[in-house]
Amino acid sequence: MSDEAYQQEVITTVPNSSMAVVSLVAGILGLTFFPLLGSLVAIITGIMGRREVQESQGTLAGGGMATAGLVMGVIGISLSALCLCVFGVTFGSIFCVALSQGDLLILPGLYGLLF
């Protein structure tokens, strides 16, 4: 029997960039539990992770994770901004209608509704 039959193929794996992993996790959290904070962290670490993977010249993987985190961060920021605009327009219009009609008694009810 030859030594070639007993030799096993060595499989090497390339480690993932830690910034890419953080970006992916923060992007998921930004779309679920922590909309603004998670999305901001996802964008910042996504950019850093992509740069880290590109500069590593093949010694690090995770470019796709960094890109996914970056995209989820942008989506999270966009959805948060949209929700804030809808909230502001809705309650701003109610406030303006109450002021124009001179019916300021509705405002304490709105305050109780909000808080």
One-character DSSP codes across 81-101: HHHHHHHHHHHHHHHHHHHHH
pLDDT given at position 105: 60
Residue 104: is its pLDDT beyond 90? Answer: no
Per residue in 39-91, pLDDT (tens digit) is 999 999 999 999 999 999 999 999 999 999 999 999 999 999 999 999 999 88
Percent of the chain past pLDDT 70, that is, above it, reads: 82
Q: Determine which helix (DSSP H) or strand (DSSP E) holds 22, and give its type and residue range.
A: helix 18-31
Distance CA 100, CA 115 (A): 24
Lowest pLDDT segment from 3-7, 9-13, 73-77, 92-96: 3-7
Residue 99: is its pLDDT beyond 90? Answer: no
pTM here is 0.77
Check if the beta carbon of residue 76 is closer than 8 Å to that of residue 32: no
